[in-house]
Amino acid sequence: MTLHAVAHLPELPEGQGWHAQAQDHQWLLVRNGSRVDAYQAHCPHAGAPLADGAVCEGKLVCPWHKAVFDLVDGRLCEPPALDGLKRYPVWLDGDRVLVDDRPLEPAQRSTAAGDRRTFAIIGGGAAGTAAAAALREYGFGGRILLVDEQFEPGYDRTALSKFVLAGQMAAEDTSPLRDTGFYDSQRIERIQAGVVRIDHPARRLELSDGTTLPYHAVLLATGGVPQRLGVEGEALANIHALRSREDARQFMTHTQAGTRVVIVGEGFIGLEAASALRERGMAVSVAGRHPTPFAAQFGEAVGRRLRQLHEAHGVVFHVAGVQAFEGQTQVHTVMLDNGEQLPAEAVLVAAGVAPATAMLDGRWLGEDGAVIVDAGLQASEGLWAAGDIARFPLAGEATRIEHWRLAEQHGRLAAANMLGAQQAYEGVPFFWTYHFGKRLDYVGNAHDWDSEHRMGDLQALNFIQLLCQRGEVKAAVACEREAACAWLAERLKRPLPLAEALAQIKAMG
């Protein structure tokens, strides 16, 4: 045991983390009265400095991607982290705070012996991987089948449009959700195959190679497939989607500085890609139906400011849809429905995704192909769905949300309920988006807000804007306000009066 004197008790603030360091060791200290707890200093997901996050209602929230940890024992409460925090012994010598540099042994959850059940998870992305990991975390001792068409284990797809297309990261370097050894050590059987049919009454999966797999319970976590435009010329070469590492590799192979690119769609993937490709020196035009991008999510003022940011970096916007693609074998012109003709050496179609649910009987599907589930993500006895494909109740409204973190929240919740927990989704949706070096956080879920309250400087892109309905905060969009958004990611689980939110954000600086 080696103890390090790292702080004095009076200098530790209540209600927020404190970064401590001694020699090559770093810790996060959290004070509660005369008690001090020490945890690892950086988030196990992506290494964010946890002292920059927020403490809220007994939880610690990561500043970057809003993973949530319980301050009693460091256990994981909310993804995208898939592990809890290491804890370290703390002693008080008078008012001196001493920390051991060896972590405490984590509590071991017992695994039920003799469990003969087989749980199948279809899809190895965010929701599926989180569910598989959580089943073992929660003590399931039976068989776990993780069936996925992809050869590679799940990885962080959010980096593709943000960093891979910008040339800052190779496609193969996007972070795996779990290393390959994890699946073996946790007895998670990865099966590379497509599922052509779920025969749920018979509790059987029919795979693309002709084999069948029996199961006791199944979680459908297949995500989405890129929407097709259904226009002439869509099959021409050099028209791309961006849904996988291979999609990104193909796009990078066929483009370089100076390439004329047309992006179809002014949503998050489309404009993140526009930012990335301009960073690589390409000529970028964006064709979309809405004059103000993100207005439906962020409001008109923030949407206009983001469009200005893109235009200042050379992105050209065209408010129109695509009528056709022209070319011999490879696209060379994008025909818009307002008569414009855009020269193009490459096209990226980012027009949204449709739920990948063709293998499931229509009795459980909505008109858009989403799986209709209850608040516990259950569609029928023994059948659950999570992530992009699930239409679930949120604030009294059936909702489908295509957020990476929410898919992982769903995966963990579905895993608990497959084991009989009967929990309802009570999380707070969150996503972040990245444009020309500026990161924006969105936390909550608002559609028909009746007021907006902004603090900071929108023009300088250092602000937080609260979207409210009848005096309560429903969501927030922010830039350079990560700690405030971390606090909101936990506090919005309960009704939040505007006055309380404004006071807390002001106090956080």
Q: How far is CA 173 from its chain centroid?
A: 18
Asked whether the predicted pLDDT for residue 360 surpasses 90, the reply is yes
Asked whether the predicted pLDDT for residue 491 surpasses 90, the reply is yes
Identify residue 311 by its one-letter amino acid code: E
What average pLDDT does the segment 153-169 reach?
Answer: 96
CATH class of 3-100: mainly beta
Lowest mean pLDDT among 71-85, 96-110, 426-440: 96-110
CA distances from 164 to 158, 224, 249, 285 (A): 10, 20, 9, 19
**CA-CA-CA-CA dihedral for 469, 470, 471, 473, to nearest 10:** -20
| Strand order across the 59-61 sheet | 54-56, 59-61, 68-70, 76-78
Distance CA 165, CA 279 (A): 9
What average pLDDT does the segment 392-417 reach?
Answer: 96
Whether residue 80 is preceded by a cis peptide bond, meaning omega within 30 degrees of 0, is yes
The full length of the chain comes to 509
pLDDT tier at 96 (50, 70, 90 boundaries)? very high
Asked whether the predicted pLDDT for residue 109 surpasses 80, the reply is no
The DSSP code sequence of 253-295 is HT--TT-EEEEE--SHHHHHHHHHHHHTT-EEEEEES-SSTTH
CATH class of 239-351: alpha beta
**CA-CA-CA-CA dihedral for 284, 289, 292, 295, to nearest 10:** -120
What average pLDDT does the segment 279-303 reach?
Answer: 97
Are 30 and 71 in contact by the 8 Å Cβ rule? The answer is yes
| Strand order across the 390-394 sheet | 371-372, 390-394, 397-399
Percent of the chain with pLDDT over 90: 95
Are 487 and 63 in contact by the 8 Å Cβ rule? The answer is no
Distance CA 148, CA 194 (A): 6
Task: Provide the pLDDT for residue 112.
Answer: 67
Task: Provide the pLDDT for residue 165.
Answer: 97
pLDDT tier at 114 (50, 70, 90 boundaries)? confident
Beta-carbon neighbour count of residue 111 at 10 Å?
A: 13
Phi-psi region of 387 (alpha: psi -120 to 50; beta: other; left: phi over 0): left
Hunting for tokens 């483009």 — which residue is that?
A: 255
Asked whether the predicted pLDDT for residue 396 surpasses 70, the reply is yes
Task: Provide the pLDDT for residue 207.
Answer: 97
pLDDT tier at 106 (50, 70, 90 boundaries)? confident
Task: Provide the pLDDT for residue 493.
Answer: 96
What average pLDDT does the segment 458-478 reach?
Answer: 98
Task: Provide the pLDDT for residue 110.
Answer: 65
pLDDT tier at 116 (50, 70, 90 boundaries)? very high
Task: Provide the pLDDT for residue 271.
Answer: 98
Task: Provide the pLDDT for residue 408.
Answer: 98
Task: Provide the pLDDT for residue 108.
Answer: 67
Phi, psi of 200 (to 5 degrees): -70, -40
Whether 239-351 and 118-225+354-418 are alike in CATH topology: the answer is: yes
Q: Which fold has domain 437-508?
A: Enolase-like; domain 1 (3.30.390)
Q: What is the tens place of the pLDDT at every residue in 333-359? A: 999 999 999 999 999 999 999 999 999
Task: Provide the pLDDT for residue 334.
Answer: 98
Please state the pTM of the whole predicted model. 0.94
Asked whether the predicted pLDDT for residue 136 surpasses 90, the reply is yes
CATH class of 118-225+354-418: alpha beta
Asked whether the predicted pLDDT for residue 107 surpasses 90, the reply is no
Are 48 and 81 in contact by the 8 Å Cβ rule? The answer is no
- Domain residue limits, the chain: 3-100, 118-225+354-418, 239-351, 437-508
Task: Provide the pLDDT for residue 15.
Answer: 84
Q: What is the tens place of the pLDDT at every residue in 212-251? A: 999 999 999 999 999 999 999 999 999 999 999 999 999 9
